[in-house]
Each structure stands twice: as C-alpha cells, then as structure tokens.
Structure 1
C-alpha cells in the first residue's frame, strides 16, 4: 500500500510532467537562442563571405544544468553540432574553431538560460575538451 496522499501523487505527476517538457523543449529553445545569437552577430565581409563569432557561452539555471548532467547528456556537444549545421546551412564562416561552453548559473534573466557570443582568436578547439 502506498503511503503517498492524493496530493503528493498529483505533485509527483506534475513534477514529472515539467521535467518531460524540459527535456523535450529546452534543448530546442537553446538551439534557437544560439542560432539567433549567431545570426545577430554576422559580419558581412563580401558578397561571398559572412563571418560569425566562434565562441558561445550558455549559462543554464542550476536545475536545468543538474537535470542534463543527471541524464548524462553532453549538451555542449549537442549544441555545438547543431550550431555548426546551422552555420553550414547559412554559409557562415566561423571566426575560429567553434566552441559552445555550458555552465550553470544562479543568475539567468529568464530563469532558464542566457546565451552570449564572442570571437576567440588563436584558440584550438582541443583546449575545451573535458
């Protein structure tokens, strides 16, 4: 016999539902946020050359970061691969080796994540491998 009350079971289902939504939607939102960050910082050098930043920082709210870690997902690699495909589709040239660095933060403006970018020169991508 279960010792959970009806309210506790409902809260458990609600919490599970939120986590399921997070797992399904958050990476898509992050990918879209990265693409937007990339697209907003293009530098058109010529008709055939468009350069974009190569270093992206993603700050995740603590709960989101911990959930992704618990699931063993390499979200930094997933995001890097997705952004790379976007750049190829758009014909962008990266300012150097593409990196997406994911960290956890207690202070993100929307309560979930913050994305920023910059150009990092003369840095090898291997320097970011864990």
Structure 2
C-alpha cells in the first residue's frame, strides 16, 4: 500500500511541475496529454479500413526556464506520457510504426510561444526472425529429384 501511495504522490508532483512549467501567469495551464492526443488525431494517416497510422515520436518544446525545472523529471516523465499516448491509441485503434517516445526540449531562442509540440512518424527496428521462425514464414522450396 505504501508503494502505491508513493507512486501516486510522485505522479501528483510531476503533474504539478508540468502545469507550473508550461503556463504563464493569468493563463490556464495546458493539458499535456490532451495536446499529445490532439497531435495524434490531427496527424493520423488512414492506410485502410482498419488501419490508421499516427505519429510515434513527440517532442514538447518548452521555454528554457520551464525546461530547466523539468529536466530532473524528464527521464521518468517521458515514458509516462508515452504510456498515455499508447492508451489513447489503443482506445481509438490507432497503430504505430515503432515504439512511442516523448521528449522534452528547450525552445530555441527567445520566443513568445508558450510551448510547441512536434510529432513525426519514426520507423521502428524491423524484427528479424530467427531460424525456426524463418522456415515457418517462408516455406522451403521443393527439393529437386
């Protein structure tokens, strides 16, 4: 039970840190997960009746000060956001070309932008079948007499 409580408190701290990092005074904070979901919906490629391909690589660009505050949580925050994207994709029956990744990076230069999300479809590593699997996938040619 203590472990669950600690995990919950850690997640609440991360969420509070993200909210404070990506908002300006008098502005409502952005909902990071909803921004990533919208990015999936806007960049979906319909490949067939049952196949919709969405981006699997996301970069959230934050102002330098916000990025610096979140840098210590970056290694744990990225996988948690990626899990949220995978869950949303499963609900919508979206598919990916490779593993989902979410990275935080600083915005280049001094800009008026609060944040920017970039997404792309990044190919994954193809799976190489080994010996027995290869013979199951590709039938052997008949032997000559």
Give the TM-score of the pair, scaled to structure 2. 0.59
Report the Cα distance in structure 2 between the residues aligned to 1:116 and 1:20, rounded to whole angstroms: 17
**CA shift in 2, pair 1:42/1:102, >3 Å:** same
Match of 1:63 in 2: 65
CA-atom RMSD in angstroms: 2.9
Q: Once the 2 structures are TM-superposed, how far is the Cα of residue 64 of structure 1 from its aligned partner?
A: 1.6
More strand by share: 1
More helix by share: 1
Aligned length: 104
Match of 1:96 in 2: 98
Report the Cα distance in structure 2 between the residues aligned to 1:106 and 1:29, rounded to whole angstroms: 22
Structure label with greater radius of gyration: 2
**CA shift in 2, pair 1:49/1:115, >3 Å:** same
| Alignment deviations for residues 16-74 of structure 1 (CA, whole Å, 9 cap, x no partner) | xxx79526975x6221111111110111122211111111111111222222235x462
Give the TM-score of the pair, scaled to structure 1. 0.64
5+ residue gaps, structure 1: 1-18, 125-130
**CA shift in 2, pair 1:108/1:92, >3 Å:** farther
Report the Cα distance in structure 2 between the residues aligned to 1:68 and 1:35, rounded to whole angstroms: 21
SS of 1:82 mapped into structure 2:
helix
**Does residue 1:111 correspond to 2:109, yes or no?**
no
**CA shift in 2, pair 1:23/1:106, >3 Å:** closer
